[in-house]
Amino acid sequence: EAQVTQNPRYLITVTGKKLTVTCSQNMNHEYMSWYRQDPGLGLRQIYYSMNVEVTDKGDVPEGYKVSRKEKRNFPLILESPSPNQTSLYFCASSLMTGTNQPQHFGDGTRLSIL
């Protein structure tokens, strides 16, 4: 089944303790992206990647890092999490065919930073 898989689905942790949220897709998509979803603010892009070893900042990159060492994986790293990073996070992927293609989303990771 074609899907985007995120882990963990839920995490409660404390300020300053490094964490990584993994994202994997099995559709051979070139494009991958991370979003955060907050009440009243909708979905905002954190980082995106257009191919292996190619990453770039989205609208709200502060406090986050990403890497794209393999095509299928795009982990989101919080080196020193803070309470304002408490949010619902989504990973998405899409083909890049020269014309726009819809992004396919994982089921989300709910992070709580105490």
Partner 1 sequence: GESVGLHLPTLSVQEGDNSIINCAYSNSASDYFIWYKQESGKGPQFIIDIRSNMDKRQGQRVTVLLNKTVKHLSLQIAATQPGDSAVYFCAENSGGSNYKLTFGKGTLLTVNP
Q: Which residues bind partner 1 (CB under 8 A)?
A: 4, 31, 33, 40-45, 48, 50, 56, 58, 90, 92, 94, 96, 99-100, 102-108
CB of 26 to partner 1, least distance (A): 15
CB of 32 to partner 1, least distance (A): 10
CB of 42 to partner 1, least distance (A): 5
Nearer to partner 1, 14 or 41 (CB): 41
DSSP string, the chain: ---EEEE-SEEEE-TT--EEEEEEESS--SEEEEEEEETTTEEEEEEEEEETTEEEE-S--TT-EE--SSSSB--EEESS--GGG-EEEEEEEE--SSS----EE---EEEEE-
